[in-house]
Amino acid sequence: MKNIFVSYFDALMDVFMNGPLDAGIDGLLDVVIKGLLVAFIDRLLGSRLDG
């Protein structure tokens, strides 16, 4: 699971360092998809922890 967070932030840094146009559509989609995945897992874990 840690890999998902790491790859998400890597992709995010890629977009910020190179700019959205350099990262291209694929880079932006990658960030969006991984962001949704991270948010989903975060919510899933949060609801489990809350009981």
**What is the phi/psi pair of residue 4, to 5°?**
-65, -45
Q: Is the pLDDT assigned to residue 51 strictly greater than 60?
A: no
Amino acid letter, residue 9: F
pLDDT of residue 1: 56
pTM, two decimal places = 0.45
Residue 5, pLDDT score:
72
Sign of CA dihedral 9, 1, 43, 31: positive
Two tokens at 47? 């609801």
pLDDT of amino acid 21 = 60
